[in-house]
Amino acid sequence: MDKIKIAVMGYGNVGRGVELAAGVSDDMELCAVLTRRDPSSVKIIGDTEVMRAEDFAVLKGKIDVMILCGGSATDLPVQGPEYARHFCTVDSFDTHAKIPVYYKAVDGAAKAGGNVSIISAGWDPGVFSLNRLYFEAILPKGVSYTFWGRGVSQGHSDAIRRIKGVADARQYTVPIESAVAEVRNGLCPKLNARQKHLRECYVVACEGADHERIRSEIVNMPDYFADYDTTVFFITEEEMKRDHSGMPHGGFVIRNGNTAGGAGHTIEYSLKLGSNPEFTGSVLCACARAAVRMKREGMCGARTMLDIPPVYLSDKPPEELYFSLL
Amino acid sequence: MDKIKIAVMGYGNVGRGVELAAGVSDDMELCAVLTRRDPSSVKIIGDTEVMRAEDFAVLKGKIDVMILCGGSATDLPVQGPEYARHFCTVDSFDTHAKIPVYYKAVDGAAKAGGNVSIISAGWDPGVFSLNRLYFEAILPKGVSYTFWGRGVSQGHSDAIRRIKGVADARQYTVPIESAVAEVRNGLCPKLNARQKHLRECYVVACEGADHERIRSEIVNMPDYFADYDTTVFFITEEEMKRDHSGMPHGGFVIRNGNTAGGAGHTIEYSLKLGSNPEFTGSVLCACARAAVRMKREGMCGARTMLDIPPVYLSDKPPEELYFSLL
């Protein structure tokens, strides 16, 4: 069987995660890394060719899937529909409120190109969404909860870095253990934002900056911090590098539900990720495999992980999976 | 939209679980319960018609799915292929070694009848199998573990009841906490049967029976108990009724895996079920919904939960699921 040929568009943390995941997938081959930077300035792990993003057209007919590793704010809204005309694509678009609009744009382009484009893949949205769906379909009467962390939130870290006098920052989202315990024990608590998570901020201040002002600006920042109990720690640049350069993350989705005979049930799905982008890259690779199979079956248009027959994510034939996993 | 019309074949604990689950599924209607007993002797919860199993043919064209709730040892090997000719079916066939043969028999019959038959649904095989597949597809380098319990094993309880001098028995499978902790901490331990689970047996002995002989026959029984640390408690009939009449179960599937950058990841799926058969009935109902949709899309043949596009399990339209769950 021919290997699945993939290309990566955008070489940040997730692009690197895809490169690593493709390298350990026996049925996949990374054929190109595309970048908007000067290709000669981009150091990748392996020896795949690094190309300029605008030269993507030379890959038409040569690759099976383009994995889009840009950001959801400005990259994907343009790239998703653009590349879906030319290639099967996979992305991790995660701006929740804009998913319906994004889905529609990618769906139209993918149909025009006869391609399958899997959007919003990863862990949340992604495997967490999948679990919410399975939980609700099986136990329609119940309450689902999502907790994130302990892990680094890129968005919250960036928000702190924009404050005057901040040289660097890292924000950890931390689930509140007593709340998690209540949910795990099937108590179906009502929980607001502050009762579910707290926020820990590690800040390197510029020389002479007023720590108290920075702390106040952080903890009172609307949307990001004001609705949470937030703790701010000032540390040195060396401490930041030494203690906070990993990108761990994780979390859990839990459902408390009842069946009509009165029995209570608790289902939980949890992730402890040593590296958020490496795990995300691994999910995107599995979805690339599914996109290729769905296209070979004659499908086209946008899809999400909620639509993928699970066997399509594996490199093993269905009969082997039935026997080894059922 | 018309409701999905289901019938239940076999009214034991799981059949009752299906009746309860269908009752709280707004898009489903239970049309008939079929039994090999005298229908007038079968008391069900609702007011659905109870029919003789051999009269099943009157339901042709009147129901969408027949849910087969018989046992895997002798009922399903006959019923699965028999009914798949006439109806879409769902079952929970769980004799692992015979799944390939059973799949083939049901697949042939379902194709001959133009039906979709979902086999081996439930929680294990079923949602646990699904998670093993997702885990492996995302993290191909790693080790998966399954722990069952604490919960009642019907097969092990029956094995004890066959011992001379035993009036009643209940066997709990109990995961060993220290082993679970090692796995959760990502240590990838090598564990044999004895290191993963222990077995707790509650026995009501007949009057005058020799407890020591019964205990010895239990703990030395090959396959069932000899490879485990087994504890036997002798209790009264009243204690059995009072403390052991529920059917709780559960367990967890855990994978420790690494991505190629060196990061370690742990994924866990866990179930705490107040009632094993009520939960199983709920899974079978969700699969019945999927079978109907797959048939409407033109598919036929045998399928497993590993083949079902997740959205087909839900009563909500895909666009609504994308927006509420992604």
Predicted confidence (pLDDT) per residue in A136-152, tens digit: 999 999 999 999 999 99
How confident is the model at residue A1, as a pLDDT?
A: 66
CA distance B86 to B56: 9
Cα dihedral A210, A214, A219, A225, rounded to 10, equals -170
Residues of B in contact with A138 (CB under 8 A): 127, 279, 282-283, 286, 313
Q: Are B280 and B122 in contact (CB under 8 A)?
A: yes
Sign of CA dihedral A67, B140, A324, B186: negative
Interface of B with A in 248-277 (CB under 8 A): 258-275
Tokens found for residue A306: 């909620």
Sign of CA dihedral B48, B52, B58, B62: positive
Band (B1; pLDDT cuts 50, 70, 90): low
Nearest Cα residue to B16 out of A45, A259, A251, A205: A259
CA distance B299 to B293: 9
The predicted model gives A270-275 an average pLDDT of 96
pLDDT at B296 exceeding the cut of 70 = yes
Work out the number of other CB atoms within 10 angstroms of the CB of residue A38: 9
**Among candidates B260, B281, B306 on the partner chain, residue whose Cβ is nearest the Cβ of A21:** B260
Residues of B in contact with A261 (CB under 8 A): 16-17, 20, 275, 278
Mean pLDDT of chain B: 96
CA distance A239 to B243: 56
B129 burial (CB, 10 Å; 0-12 / 13-18 / 19+) is buried
Lowest average pLDDT, out of A195-204, A205-214, B153-162, goes to: B153-162
Q: Say which residues have a Cβ less than 8 Å from residue A301's Cβ, sequence separation at least 6.
A: A107, A110, A111, A116, A117
How confident is the model at residue B258, as a pLDDT?
A: 96
Sign of CA dihedral A155, A160, A164, A167: negative
Interface of A with B in 218-237 (CB under 8 A): none
User: Pairing mode, if any, of strands A249-258 and A142-148?
Assistant: antiparallel
Nearest Cα residue to B29 out of B40, B37, B18, B38: B18
Query: How many Å lie between the alpha carbon of A301 and the closest alpha carbon of chain B?
Result: 14
pLDDT at A280 exceeding the cut of 80 = yes
Q: Are B99 and B124 in contact (CB under 8 A)?
A: no
A vs B, Cβ pairs < 8 A, gives 224
How confident is the model at residue B154, as a pLDDT?
A: 87
User: What are the pLDDT digits (tens) for A309-326?
Assistant: 999 999 999 999 999 999
**Among candidates B24, B267, B304 on the partner chain, residue whose Cβ is nearest the Cβ of A271:** B267
How would you label A169-197 residue by residue, b for 16+ Cβ within 10 Å and e otherwise? bbbbbbbbeebbebbbebebeebeeeebb
User: What are the pLDDT digits (tens) for A57-115?
Assistant: 999 999 999 999 999 989 999 999 999 999 999 999 999 899 999 999 999 999 999 99
How confident is the model at residue A232, as a pLDDT?
A: 98
CB contact under 8 A, B24 and A141: yes
pLDDT at B221 exceeding the cut of 90 = yes
pTM attached to this predicted model: 0.95
The predicted model gives B159-182 an average pLDDT of 97
How confident is the model at residue A46, as a pLDDT?
A: 96
Say if residue B125 is preceded by a cis peptide, omega within 30 of 0.
yes
Query: How many Å lie between the alpha carbon of A104 and the closest alpha carbon of chain B?
Result: 10
B13 burial (CB, 10 Å; 0-12 / 13-18 / 19+) is middle
User: What are the pLDDT digits (tens) for B3-53?
Assistant: 999 999 999 999 999 999 999 999 999 999 999 999 999 999 999 999 999
CB contact under 8 A, B323 and A136: no
CA distance A71 to A309: 27
Half-sphere exposure of B282 (CA within 13 A, CB side): 29
Beta bridge partners of B152: B172
Could you give the percent of chain B with pLDDT greater than 70?
100
Which of the two residues, B95 and B6, has the higher pLDDT score?
Answer: B6
pLDDT at A36 exceeding the cut of 70 = yes
How confident is the model at residue A70, as a pLDDT?
A: 94
Residues of A in contact with B137 (CB under 8 A): 286, 289, 310, 313-315
